[in-house]
Amino acid sequence: MSDYYEILGVPRDASPEQIKKAYRRLAREHHPDVAGEGAGEDRFKEVSRAYEVLSNPEKRRMYDLGADPSSPGGGMGGGFGFQDIFETFFGAAAGQSAQRGPIPRARRGQDALVRLDVDLAEATFGAHREVHVDTAVLCPTCSGSCCRPGTSPRTCDACGGRGSVQRVARSFLGQVMTSQPCAACHGFGTVIPEPCPECSGEGRVRSRRTLEVDIPAGVDTGTRIKLTGQGEVGPAGGPAGDVYLEIRERKHDTFVRRGDDLHCTLEVPMTAAALGTMLTLETLDGPREVDLRPGTQPAQVVTLKGLGVGRLHVGGRGDLHVHVDVRVPTDLDDEQVDLLRRLAMARDEERPDTRLAASHSGVFSKLREKLAGR
């Protein structure tokens, strides 16, 4: 009894994939059209017989028990067939192409990306907007059938509705049947004898649609809102794609956004910063009072809780940070100059001692650290 494992050059515990790989390599090497008649043909039959047994689990089990289940003529049966040979020389894709059916005429429409500009108030509180989109909609004349009203698609005469046609090609195995998409119906299996005059047989037309959109509070530049099924209708009335709204937030004249917080700068006179005062600030929520304590320093920050931007998905709002900018007067009259000099004398600051501040304590560094959230 022949040693089929040795013929294929695989160990006795070889996996089915190893056996199949070894067979394909040897079949290509010893096929009569490659190796020639005589020894090459005998070797090819021997390899085929070994693969016939070892590729079939039941026959392999019998062989391992000492029996030779192969047929006397070494015919190809059980786990071996024409498909294996076809895949060996042409690849799996070629074997699968003949099994493909007609292509559906109706296909899903494409998605659309629309950029939507919003102002800071809309991003803070949310908003309801109308968005105009130029897209493909279902043809009102044929309702997606692609045909003139009163007509219908007809089965393709060239392929008989299969969507593909078969061709006979010659190879070293002899004549091989291949399959190709039908050129007459483009693989659909049907033809449109009288296309719809409205959509020219597309099943859809271009139109402008108005979409109602709820913008949630907290959106920011780059946020995308998905409108499922609001995109273009597919060919032949296929399912509609989606619309993605990409938010782009406009800059505000007063407030700067940092995440969910808002920042603004409030200019106050030097005297107000020194003595303290109550000021009114116009916020996105209306006028709010800002309490400046006596001795307020330049770049000091007053935080108004809950007056920032809405937090997307989690609820609540950020804060409003008011940065104080102390305005030093430059147009003093003689009386005001005298008053300031008298104040300097009273505070013993006529010739104040100068000292360098630490590198991290300057006005601008404090402002920069505050904006960075440190």
What does the pLDDT read at residue 126? 95
Residue 198 φ then ψ, to 5°: -75, -45
Are 200 and 69 in contact by the 8 Å Cβ rule? The answer is: no
Give how far Cα 230 sits from Cα of 74, 91, 117, 207, 217, Å.
Answer: 62, 42, 19, 13, 22
Domain boundary among 249, 269, 297: 249
Are 137 and 207 in contact by the 8 Å Cβ rule? The answer is: yes
Q: How confident is the model at residue 93 (pLDDT cuts 50, 70, 90)?
A: very low
Q: 145 with 63, same domain?
A: no
Alpha carbon of residue 206 to chain centroid: 25
Q: Check pLDDT > 70 for residue 235.
A: yes
* 296 falls within a domain: yes
Q: At what angle do helices 39-54 and 57-64 cross, to 10 degrees?
A: 100
3-class secondary-structure state, position 345: helix
* pLDDT tens string 184-198: 999 999 999 999 999
Domain boundary among 96, 129, 161: 96
* pLDDT tens string 5-38: 888 888 888 898 899 888 888 887 876 655 555 5
% the chain with pLDDT above 70: 80
* 27 falls within a domain: yes
Q: What angle do CA 254, 364, 370 make, to 5 degrees?
A: 65
Q: 13 with 36, same domain?
A: yes
The whole-number average pLDDT for the span 213-227 is: 95
Query: How far apart are alpha carbons 347 and 95 in whole angstroms?
Result: 99
Structure-block tokens of residue 88: 């060996």
Q: 117 with 13, same domain?
A: no
What does the pLDDT read at residue 106? 93
DSSP letters of 202-221? SSEEEEEEEEEEEEPTT--T
* 182 falls within a domain: no
Q: Exposed/middle/buried for 89, CB within 10 Å: 0-12, 13-18, 19+?
A: middle
Structure-block tokens of residue 42: 């005998």
Burial 146-160 (b: 16+ CB within 10 A, else e): bbbeeeebeebeebe
Q: Which residues are annotated as a binding site for Zn(2+)?
A: 139, 142, 156, 159, 182, 185, 196, 199
Query: How far apart are alpha carbons 348 and 343 in whole angstroms?
Result: 8
Query: How far apart are alpha carbons 225 and 242 in whole angstroms?
Result: 10
The whole-number average pLDDT for the span 59-71 is: 73
Query: How far apart are alpha carbons 335 and 342 in whole angstroms?
Result: 11
Q: What is the CATH number of the domain that holds 82?
A: 1.10.287.110
* 269 falls within a domain: yes
* pLDDT tens string 265-303: 999 999 999 999 999 999 999 999 999 999 999 989 999
Domain boundary among 227, 249, 271: 249
Domains contained in the chain, number:
3
State which residues form the domain around 135.
112-153+192-249
Q: 244 with 270, same domain?
A: no
* 320 falls within a domain: yes
Q: Which residues are annotated as a binding site?
A: 139, 142, 156, 159, 182, 185, 196, 199
DSSP letters of 89-118? HH-HHHHHHTT--PPPS--PPPPEEEEEEE
What does the pLDDT read at residue 173? 59
Q: 206 with 262, same domain?
A: no
Q: 127 with 34, same domain?
A: no
Q: Check pLDDT > 70 for residue 98.
A: no
What does the pLDDT read at residue 1? 63
* 68 falls within a domain: yes
Q: 8 with 71, same domain?
A: yes
DSSP letters of 12-52? TT--HHHHHHHHHHHHHHH-HHHH-STHHHHHHHHHHHHHH
Q: Check pLDDT > 80 for residue 39.
A: no
DSSP state of 56: S
Q: 75 with 140, same domain?
A: no
Q: 205 with 298, same domain?
A: no
The whole-number average pLDDT for the span 30-55 is: 74
Q: Check pLDDT > 50 for residue 82.
A: no
DSSP letters of 278-337? EEEEEETTEEEEEEEPTTPPTT-EEEETT-SPBPTTT-SB--EEEEEEEEPP----HHHH
What does the pLDDT read at residue 12? 86
What does the pLDDT read at residue 320? 97
The lowest-confidence range among 63-77, 95-109, 274-288, 314-328 is 63-77
Q: Check pLDDT > 60 for residue 99.
A: no
Q: How confident is the model at residue 350 (pLDDT cuts 50, 70, 90)?
A: confident
Q: 270 with 224, same domain?
A: no
Q: 361 with 324, same domain?
A: yes
Q: Check pLDDT > 70 for residue 75.
A: no
- Number of Cβ atoms within 10 Å of the Cβ of 198: 16
Query: How far apart are alpha carbons 321 and 309 in whole angstroms?
Result: 12
**For the whole model, what pTM was predicted?**
0.62
The lowest-confidence range among 92-96, 358-362, 366-370 is 92-96
Q: 243 with 132, same domain?
A: yes
* 106 falls within a domain: no
The whole-chain average pLDDT of the chain stands at 84
What does the pLDDT read at residue 96? 42
Q: What is the CATH number of the domain that holds 120?
A: 2.60.260.20
The whole-number average pLDDT for the span 362-366 is: 50
What does the pLDDT read at residue 101? 75
* 102 falls within a domain: no
